[in-house]
Amino acid sequence: MNVLIKDIKERDLASDALILPLCEGASEDQYKEIASSLNGLLGKVIRSGEFGGKHGQLSLLHTMNMIKPVRLLLVGLGKKGEVSSEKLRQAGGKTLSYLYSIGAKDVSLSGAYLLSLNQSPVPFLEGGLLSLYKFKKYRKEDADVKGIERFTLIGKPDSALSNSVRWAVATTAAANFAKDLVNTPSNDMTPTALAKTARSIGRGKVSVKVLERADAGKEGMGAFLSVARGSMEPPKFIVLRYNGGKGAPIALIGKSITFDSGGISIKPGEGMEKMKYDMAGGAAVLAVIKAAAEMRLRVNLIGVLPATENLPGGSASKPGDVVTSVGGKTIEIISTDAEGRLVLADAIGYIKKMRPKAIIDIATLTGACSVALGNEAIAMMGNDRALLDRLKAAGDEVYERVWEMPLYEEYMDYVKSDIADLKNSGGKTGSLVTAGYFLKEFAGDMPWVHLDIAGTAWTEKDRPYTAKGATGIGVRLLLNFLKERK
């Protein structure tokens, strides 16, 4: 979709539909110029009570050649005092999905009223762009649909607005890119396919190195390789570098289990098809690095995707096995289904040697994450107050909210093994935080934050601007965090 900013009178810009947002109780006077050309139509619809401005309400009017836009779409924003960026994202999502459904190709949004409320029109656009995402890979009739081709924001194209629009377009495209990777089933999104995708985003400003099984062995990645043993698909330990700034890099590690059957500790069959989304962390990291490079963010980044399937093949790891991780710590495998922390342990150990200034891992790590927080928040744990606070603030702004969980030293007892340095499962009790605690042991004194996205990376129902399926969670959060970082 082509997004433009134009300084023009609303009634003079030809389009399939002109979007006019309005709060509850607002009158047609908010759009005097348009109203005056419409022979009383706008006032009539509002005064009749047909359009009351409730949040998400839509009223479509045909303009019958009285003005250039073929239609007007009134969009309710709810109560004036309650308008927020998120309310606008939601309204934008609803609006653009509706316009898509009626076959509109060319739409415009009047920005003046939003500005009068001290709101930027950009979140409305953002919600719209996210809502238009559709996974089209496997059905011809989906692939053939064209959708909305042009969106014109009517307002003054100053540099602040242009930058903000450009940011919204790039970050929503990145989130939608991540959704595509996650929605792709595991037979097509293998570790090899993920490595190929990494190389394709790497052209130009990003360098990509892929460690094969033998290379990972030389690096001492016994934990990562133990997960890969049960599968015929070759594992890939993918490392990306983007250098746009100065100083030590920030390392982003994304859990990339392209399918998690549980291994020998096999999962119940019901719902197992969803375990293709166990690489949502890796998808987010790829999308973030791609967007950072495209926008030339002034940061240095390392991305790490430890990619493998977790299957119960004949050579699979078994409960009770002990493996040695990169730093030399030994791990007793209690459950082969607690594979995420195994691959992350080696990723953290590997990246620590490059002395990044911070490590952020993002992972669909525990079922307990959604037990605790439902599908509304990312669970966050870490050892660095400033980093935790910055991520929390970045998440609130984009409404990819994070909620901090504790890492009390008493949790050490839960992950102590009788025969090795650690065990990979402390059982059911506290399993969201004991997973975090396990990772903390590998981060050591390196500033580190863990984001558990198990509850937020997938949605079973359509949400205001996120369709059923992969959500692209973490992408906008991390990009917003990196933007402020400089």
28 binds, among Zn ion, ligand BES, Mn ion, none (CB under 5 to 8 A by kind): none
The single residue of 341, 352, 423, 440 carrying the catalytic annotation is 341
As measured in angstroms, the least distance from the Cβ of 441 to Zn ion is 19
As measured in angstroms, the least distance from the Cβ of 337 to Mn ion is 4
User: Which one, 16 or 337, has the nearer CB to Mn ion?
Assistant: 337
As measured in angstroms, the least distance from the Cβ of 149 to Mn ion is 42
User: Which one, 113 or 277, has the nearer CB to ligand BES?
Assistant: 277
Query: Alpha-carbon distance 361 to 294, whole Å?
Result: 22
Neighbours of 486 (CB within 10 A): 9
Query: Alpha-carbon distance 421 to 324, whole Å?
Result: 10
User: Which one, 153 or 338, has the nearer CB to ligand BES?
Assistant: 338
| Farthest-apart Cα atoms in the chain, separation | 83
Q: At what angle do helices 385-398 and 475-485 cross, to 10 degrees?
A: 120
As measured in angstroms, the least distance from the Cβ of 457 to ligand BES is 7
Q: At what angle do helices 475-485 and 159-183 cross, to 10 degrees?
A: 140
The single residue of 136, 241, 267, 274 carrying the catalytic annotation is 267
User: Which one, 171 or 231, has the nearer CB to ligand BES?
Assistant: 231
For residue 309, state whether it binds Mn ion (rule: CB under 5 A).
Answer: no
Binding mask 334-373 for Zn ion (x = CB under 5 A): ------x---------------------------------
DSSP letter string, 333-364: -S-TT--HHHHHHHHHHHHHTT--SEEEEEE-
Please confirm, yes or no, whether 267 is among the known catalytic residues. Answer: yes
Q: Which of 126, 180, 233, 337 binds Mn ion (CB under 5 A)?
A: 337
Chain residue at closest Cβ approach to Zn ion = 260
User: Which one, 108 or 310, has the nearer CB to Zn ion?
Assistant: 310
84 binds, among ligand BES, Mn ion, Zn ion, none (CB under 5 to 8 A by kind): none
As measured in angstroms, the least distance from the Cβ of 261 to Mn ion is 8
Q: At what angle do helices 85-101 and 122-131 cross, to 10 degrees?
A: 50
User: Which one, 233 or 278, has the nearer CB to ligand BES?
Assistant: 278
Q: At what angle do helices 280-294 and 159-183 cross, to 10 degrees?
A: 150
Binding mask 16-55 for Mn ion (x = CB under 5 A): ----------------------------------------
Token pair 């289904």: residue = 337
Contact 10, 28 (CB under 8 A): no
Phi-psi region of 64 (alpha: psi -120 to 50; beta: other; left: phi over 0): left
Query: Which uninterrupted H or E stretch holds 17?
Result: strand 17-22
Binding site for ligand BES (CB under 6 A): 260, 278, 335, 337-340, 364-368, 425, 431, 454
Q: Which of 106, 126, 180, 260 binds Mn ion (CB under 5 A)?
A: 260
Binding mask 296-335 for Zn ion (x = CB under 5 A): ----------------------------------------
In terms of Cβ atoms closer than 10 Å to its own Cβ (0-12, 13-18, 19+), residue 313 is middle
335 binds, among Zn ion, Mn ion, ligand BES, none (CB under 5 to 8 A by kind): ligand BES
Closest alpha carbon to 76 in 24, 114, 116: 24
Q: Strand, coil or helix: what is 381?
A: strand
Residues 254-273 contacting Zn ion, CB under 5 A: 257, 260
CB-side neighbour CA atoms (13 Å) of 38? 24
As measured in angstroms, the least distance from the Cβ of 59 to ligand BES is 40
Query: Alpha-carbon distance 310 to 278, whole Å?
Result: 10
431 binds, among ligand BES, Mn ion, Zn ion, none (CB under 5 to 8 A by kind): ligand BES
Neighbours of 403 (CB within 10 A): 13
* Residues that are catalytic: 267, 341
